[in-house]
Amino acid sequence: MAEAWRYYWFQAQVDATTMVNGLIYFIRRLPILGKKIPTKLYRMGAVKSLIAIIMSCLMFMMKPLIAMLLLAMDFLVANAYNDFIHPLPTTFTFRTMVAVTIYTLGGLLFRGLVFRYIPVDLKAIKLADYFVLDRLALARGLTRIQQVIGIVLGPFLPFFGLTMITQNYWILFVGLGVSVFSWFWRGFIPRLTWSNHRLGMIAQILYWCGLVGVPIALVLSGKLTPFVTGLFSPIGLIICWIGVFGLWWYQHRFSNDIPLLMASIQQSVITLNKVAATQKQQFLATGTAMQKKLTLDTTVSVKVNQRLGNNYLNALLFARYRSQLWKKLRTRVLWISGIGISGLILLKLFAIHSVGDLTPIYGALFFVMYLASLGGPIVQLLFVNCDSAMLFYPFYRQPKAVLSGFFYRFWRIVQYNAVTGALIYGLLLALQLVTPVPDHLNFYLVLLLEVCGMVLFFSFHDLFIYYLLQPFTEDMEVVSPLYRILYWAMYWVAWVFTQVHLSGYTYALAIGVITCIYVVAGTIVIYRVAPKTFRIRY
């Protein structure tokens, strides 16, 4: 156990060091501010050890706090059962026992999601590989520490507090017994399955049938009160702790622990590699997928007299991927058309005489256009299939080539997004054929301005931050933290527009005007800055 705690403390130090170094790296990458941050901050060993202690203490504090929060939610579930399904005794002690029952049921469900392999922390595997540590010893030690922390700091402290309040000691002994059983189960079932696969499958089926069937039966029959009373009694105490002892005895006598643990670690490594590959490609997944689907088409060509130099290269790229881009566009068109036409048919069938004020729809359209835009996929396509190779050549990074390529690509993205924008506008225009639209002339004029502004904005934004930051390395990794922030911030901004219900035309006029100003100002920035920033990152 001493060795296990040593491994745990070592991992805490590594986590703290990684967090501090990542924060310093992030700040140093920020414009203007980053240049003022010295590299000597990376060598603050004492500070990082102090942060490791603080992080460990916070983690220890968070476990009982989370358990208490879950118990509070379980009290609400018990009250809902009393109000809507079947009356329960009103005493605080009994309501506490019901809440503890629901809490332990959740633990049994969550920790029952283990089947063939022992759960191994992916961070432990990365730590062992990086520092050339013994995988088996590290995984086994951290698993034991997680069990101790999960039991002592998770249910024990809240159960002990509730026991002191209610003076009902069955809450502590029975609740803790069921929680320990759930922790032991996640180590028992992989060992049983490893020894006898058929018996392990039978045990899992019985386990899940009991976990799902018993609560449903209690709800339907209204027998929750006698069940809880019997659970928190000497009989319930004996049964749960016999189960705990049985699981512990089987694990203690299990003879193939090392092969099973090695197989579990190997499975975790496979999962870790999949997660790493997914994280690596999360910003370029679409572009990479389109590259894999590309087939050589000898009929695709671009007339030389129409395009020269960099624009010829871009035109050839768009020509070769025309079928895939149109397929993506058709998918978006079909979805929007299906939803829009279905809505129009429903309005016609139910003979809605007036749809009322439609101006709140302006904000929702911003999110729809964000989802339908092809700006992001095309930017990924450009880097994966063109820029990742061409940016190594000096002629490709000349200001004239960078600017001409930017504006050509911008215009092509506008062409694709304009189809989606026109479809959205057409569907809303068709609303006039189904039901009268109040103040339709002003509504559609403002809508036209907003749709044009959104088409320009979503065609420009992804390309703008790509040229301004160029966050990708030769290995398709993102090294710009600012790009990550802007990438996800755009989603949340678009989502906020759906939640802010503002009526009137000022809202849509602001969207249209601001997007147009953004495109104009961004074009000026691109003209001045992009030739300096459009480079392969390292």
Task: Decide if pLDDT at 434 tops 90.
Answer: no
User: Tell me, what's the pLDDT at 173?
Assistant: 92
Task: Decide if pLDDT at 463 tops 80.
Answer: yes
pLDDT tens column, 105-139:
988 888 888 777 887 777 777 777 777 777 777 77
Q: Please, which pLDDT band fits residue 286 given cuts at 50, 70 and 90? A: low
Is pLDDT larger for residue 228 or for residue 85?
228
Our CA dihedral for 209, 214, 219, 220, rounded to 10 degrees, sits at 70
Mean pLDDT value of segment 483-495: 82
User: Tell me, what's the pLDDT at 356?
Assistant: 66
Task: Decide if pLDDT at 42 tops 80.
Answer: no
* DSSP 8-state class, residue 299: T
- CA pair distance 328, 291, nearest whole angstrom: 14
User: Tell me, what's the pLDDT at 366?
Assistant: 83
The mean of the pLDDT values for the chain is: 81
pLDDT tens column, 140-180:
777 777 777 777 777 888 899 899 999 999 999 999 999 88
Mean pLDDT value of segment 370-391: 86
What's the longest Cα–Cα distance across the chain?
92
State the distance between the two ends of the chain, measured CA to CA, in whole angstroms.
43
- CA pair distance 364, 360, nearest whole angstrom: 8
Nearest to 427 by CA among 511, 334, 507, 303: 334
pLDDT tens column, 464-477:
888 888 888 776 77
- The pair phi, psi for residue 139, each rounded to 5°, is -65, -45
User: Tell me, what's the pLDDT at 478?
Assistant: 73
pTM value surpassing 0.85: no
- CA pair distance 252, 3, nearest whole angstrom: 19
The mean-pLDDT minimum among 18-32, 81-95, 295-309 falls in 295-309
User: Tell me, what's the pLDDT at 354?
Assistant: 62
User: Tell me, what's the pLDDT at 238?
Assistant: 93
